[in-house]
Structure 1
Amino acid sequence: MAGLDHPDFELDVLYEINGLAERLSGRTRDVVTFVGEYGLPFVLVALVGLGWLLVRRRADAPQAVAGCFWALLAAGLTWAANVPIRAFVARPRPHESHAELIPMVDGRDGYSFVSDHAGAATAIAVALFLVHRVLGLVALGLALLQGAARVLMGVHYPTDVIGGFALGMAVALLLAPLGMALLTPLVRALAGVGWLGWLARPPADDPERERDPGERLAA
């Protein structure tokens, strides 16, 4: 399929955002590139780990921990779903069609629609929001920042990022019932194994909480 047409307003947005790169010093540009390429994905995965720490002792711990696992799995499924989409749309990278753009990262060839980074970030954010509202909102903000960074770096058009947002949200929400139906029993079974009890332990399953204070002191 031929590449998508580029409305004037999209190119205007692309040039406006990517043009900010000219105002960055060399070192600042390197930092921004690293954050947009690796830093934000790492922080999003770290938020999932923090979410697990916060929900593993909730009353619905097996389901909540499964939701954290689903956030990571949804990101992987979003990436997999994008493979045929990119091949079908076959949209070149912006810097390949517009030589005046400033690509801030080398070696980004191949097709542009949709953005893997934006899609995976959104999948994590939406899935995490279903488990922990505050962390989910933080992750949604980071996903938006991730999308903006990809345009700033000159490796995606704005509609590539919007498409990534849509794809990640669709995967995280539409496949969540199936994913949770598979992951929740798995987490419950793993947590039932003695040495894996730390994975998800609701308050009722905590031996120390089942004892009354006198029994704890006696022990």
Structure 2
Amino acid sequence: MAGLAESGSNPDVELLYDINGLAKDAPRWFDRGVEFLGEFGLLIAMVLLVLWCWWAVRRRGGEDAAASVAALVWAPLAAGIAVLVNVPIRGFVERRRPFLDHQGLDVLVDGKTDFSFVSDHATIAMAMGVGLFVANRKFGVAGILLAFVEGYCRVLMGVHYPTDVVGGFALGTAVVLLLSPLAMALLTPVMKAAEGSGRASWLIRGRGRAAGTEQQAVIPGARSESADAAERDLAA
């Protein structure tokens, strides 16, 4: 399996050259931007997206707040588990980095000496994207789109074959969905316990949004029923 995708006639290699060829024609600043995004930027953006979703969930409140936060906690945990699952996969496949077997690639980042299949970056990004989708559809779609951009950048940088990225997407998705029932069964009671705790309830709900209640909007000029009742009692 170490010789996987070594033939120049392989569609995997041809697509690699087609995508990586864009880096050769791009200006230097574009390459540096892709390098930052592909190595760190998009993963940082994914973490910020998870935090944004958590903030939106706790502000909205509702009966499903604890379950939604549990799903958000599961997203990074699933990404970590998927990376651990990838360790034996890499050792079994032993696919070398594409620039070690194919000449003429424009490699945007140095120091990649480990095996190529599957891509850790693609695995982490898709696991967090799908985990977000489990928690919130709107944020999840944004997360999955970021994962696709991450995978594209890894090929554009010349450090992964397209199938490395596809394998990472499949691994991240599988870990999230297959282990999600067990993870939610374990995490949801913990989040509900935190919701009922005075010290940790802020993790689940914003201030003033106690479980099962919602803040009432105060309309300028409006009178409460209790005030009207008090006036009727005085008039009597």
Q: 2:163 is aligned with what amino acid?
A: T
Q: For 2:154 and 2:34, how far apart are their aligned partners in 1?
A: 10
Q: For 1:3 and 1:40, how far apart are their aligned partners in 2?
A: 30
Deviations 1:153-198 (A, max 9, x none): 0000000000001000100100001111111111122232212111
What is the root-mean-square deviation of aligned Cα atoms in Å? 2.3
Give 2:119's aligned residue.
115
**Secondary structure at 1:34 match in 2:** helix
Give 1:63's aligned residue.
67
Correspondence 1:155 to 2:159: yes
If each structure's helix is expressed as a fraction of its own residues, which one has the higher value?
1
Contact 2:106 2:157 in 1 (8 A): yes
Where do 1:10-29 residues align within 5 Å? 10-29=12-31
Give 1:168's aligned residue.
172
- Name the TM-score, length of structure 2 as normaliser: 0.85
Give unpaired runs (5+ residues) of structure 1. Answer: none
- Name the TM-score, length of structure 1 as normaliser: 0.91
Correspondence 1:90 to 2:100: no
Give 1:205's aligned residue.
211
**Secondary structure at 2:215 match in 1:** helix
| Comparing 50-59 and 175-184, the one that deviates more | 50-59
| Comparing 198-207 and 131-140, the one that deviates more | 198-207
Q: 2:157 is aligned with what amino acid?
A: M
| Comparing 186-195 and 33-42, the one that deviates more | 186-195
Correspondence 1:127 to 2:131: yes
1:99 to partner: Cα distance:
2.6
Q: For 1:207 and 1:195, how far apart are their aligned partners in 2?
A: 18
Contact 2:63 2:212 in 1 (8 A): no
Identical-residue share of aligned pairs (%): 49
Q: Of the two, which has the highest radius of gyration?
A: 2
Give unpaired runs (5+ residues) of structure 2. Answer: 228-236
Contact 2:133 2:141 in 1 (8 A): yes
1:23 to partner: Cα distance:
1.5
Deviations 1:180-219 (A, max 9, x none): 1111111122232212111113955277739x9959x9xx
1:8 to partner: Cα distance:
1.8
Give 1:4's aligned residue.
4
Contact 2:95 2:115 in 1 (8 A): yes
Give 1:146's aligned residue.
150
Q: For 2:42 and 2:113, how far apart are their aligned partners in 1?
A: 21
Give 1:47's aligned residue.
49
